[in-house]
Structure 1
Amino acid sequence: MQIPVSLQTVGLLVLSNIFMTFAWYGHLKSLASKPWWIAALISWSIALFEYLLQVPANRIGYTEFSVGQLKIMQEAITLTVFVPFAMLYMNEPFKLDYVWAALCLVGAVYFIFRA
């Protein structure tokens, strides 16, 4: 059974976003007492795994989606991954602004994917 391109693309982008969110923001909590260059090296090593997922996601996705559609899909997934990360890992409170940002992204998804 062949997994649909859209599912492969979204699945890989979700996984890559999880890695990238930790690479970009995880060090703010877990490595706060370390020098910035140690945080950068650890973040770069985490980002390698993000690229190992993101590059194939875009190559697979580009067989059915435009580059604009891939980018907007990436941004929507980023917010979907970031909000739980901010709340659960970084212990930040939920903000209504997340809802407004999500609604803006829903609009972006609509406009980029409409016929």
Structure 2
Amino acid sequence: MKKINFLILGKNQSILDILVRLVNANDDWHAIGFSDEEFAKDYFQQNTLDFVLLSSGIDAESEIKMRYFFISQQPEIEIIQHYGGGSGLLRCEILEILEQQRKRKLSENQL
């Protein structure tokens, strides 16, 4: 099974570190975190990713620009806004999206 790859972008370094650790605690997931938008863009362009996780400290204008950048480069990318709520909530958010993707693929295969 291929690993699910995440890019996590946030301005609060301690929260960013926690999110990277939480995602990487799952053996099937791999995350790398960035606090600088330009470094995140460079990494994104050089790697195939499944999720972008937006964390705390990103101003509204930057978030809009980054969303546009990610989606214009890779329209199928899943973007999650996660500003807190504990590790269980983050895991549930990710698993819910993965389940939606699985159902979508099943229905596409039945057509």
Higher relative contact order (CA 8 A, sep 6+): 1
Q: Same fold (TM over 0.5)?
A: no
Class of the TM-score when normalised by the shorter of the 2 chains: 0.3 to 0.5
TM-score, structure 2 normalization = 0.35
Higher share of residues assigned helix: 1
Q: Which has the larger radius of gyration?
A: 1
| Structure with a larger share of its residues in strand | 2
